[in-house]
Amino acid sequence: MVKSFQSDATITCNQQIQGDYYRMLLQAPDIAAAAKPGQFIHVQIPEMEHRILRRPFSISDADPANSTLTIVYKVVGTGTAQLKKMPPGTQVNILGPRGKGFSELPTDRRSILVGGGYGCAAIYLLARKAPIPPLILLGGRSHKDIIMVDEFKALGCEVRLSTDDGSTGEKGRVTLLLEKALTEFPAGRIAACGPVPMLKAVAALCDSQQLDCEVSMDSVMCCGMGACFACVIKRKASNQQGWTYVRACQEGPVFKSTEVFWD
């Protein structure tokens, strides 16, 4: 059982990265100390209190020494539009860390981390804690969706890019980069976060080569506590016949690629 904390966290920074992408730093000592790569926090956005629901955000970084949590978000609706207006000093109620994160990366071989759009936020802490700097593959629709490149490079990671329109990096899907990288060296593990179709393609590629792969499933969440079942995904039944529903907020959001029943 994951130990979680509820905290009135103070925003210390809330800055635009580029376009619709923002980075927020929060003072939350207990959550920063407990956070693991791939976990998330559930944020109550004050202007939305009447709606009760919280919004989930992947923990992009956690610095227990400074009691700081980092999230990276894209403005996609009313909740995130409110979030971007919050100045430093504002308090927000957050719950976390929640969910099952990524496993520790192997110590003997370089791993490959794949991020689609703001999915790169969920793999940053994993890259920072990696025993060997992993190869980072970032994909997006266009150059506007490629973020955090310099942050990954500052960790000593090699970073390769792809965009659907070819405006930066290779033209095409990020799975093309993965396909090529898998011919270059034996990866310790592949870990991915991004849109479900991207995860499905990553899983198909890795499963066909029997590679160790984990995916962070993007799912609609309401309670974030395992109570409402809004976040369910299909997991293969243990006898490999059919599937059962599991809660992404509780049993995930990170799953082995071979566990997921891909429709």
Q: How many CB atoms lie within 10 A of CB 170?
A: 16
Minimum CB distance to ligand FES, residue 229 (Å): 5
Residue (138 or 249) nearer to ligand FES, CB: 249
Name residues contacting ligand FES, limited to 185-224 (CB under 6 A). 221-224
Determine contact, residues 25/69, Cβ cutoff 8 Å.
Answer: yes
Note whether 113 binds ligand FES by CB under 6 A. Answer: no
- 229 binding ligand FES? (CB under 6 A): yes
Residue 53 near ligand FES by CB under 6 A: no
Task: Confirm if 154 and 176 have CB atoms less than 8 A apart.
Answer: no
Nearest residue (CB) to ligand FES, 176 versus 222: 222
Lateral strand order in the sheet of 190-193: 170-171, 158-163, 135-140, 112-116, 190-193, 213-216, 254-256
**Nearest Cα to Cα of residue 41 among 244, 234, 249, 231:** 249
- Told to check if 146 binds ligand FES by CB under 6 A, we report no
Helix (H, G, I), strand (E, B) or coil at 114: strand
Q: Binding segment for ligand FES among 114-122, 142-150, 196-204, 228-236 (CB under 6 A)? A: 228-236
Q: Which residues contact 9 (CB under 8 A, 6 or more apart)?
A: 26, 27, 28, 31, 69, 91, 92, 93, 94
Question: In this complex, which beta carbon is closest to ligand FES, that of residue 26 or of residue 217?
Answer: 217
179, containing H or E segment: helix 174-181
Angle between helices 174-181 and 196-208 (to 10 degrees): 20
Binding status of residue 226 toward ligand FES by CB under 6 A: yes
- Judged by CB, which is closer to ligand FES: 66, or 244? 244
Q: What are phi and psi of 160, to 5 degrees?
A: -120, 145
Interface with ligand FES includes 245 (CB under 6 A)? no
Closest contact distance (angstroms) between CB of 160 and ligand FES is 34
Residue 230 is encoded by which pair of tokens? 């809004």
Q: How far is the CB of 52 from ligand FES (least distance, A)?
A: 12
Which is nearer to ligand FES, 213 or 246 (by Cβ)?
246
Pick the closer one to ligand FES by CB: 32 or 233.
233
Q: Residue 32 or 221: which CB sits closer to ligand FES? A: 221
- How many of the chain's residues bind ligand FES (CB under 6 A)? 12
Closest distance to ligand FES from the beta carbon of 125 (Å): 22
Q: Which of 98, 173, 235, 247 binds ligand FES (CB under 6 A)?
A: 247
Cα angle 249-5-52, degrees, rounded to a multiple of 5: 65
In 3-state terms, what secondary structure has residue 214? strand
Residues contributing to the site for ligand FES (CB under 6 A): 221-224, 226-231, 247, 249
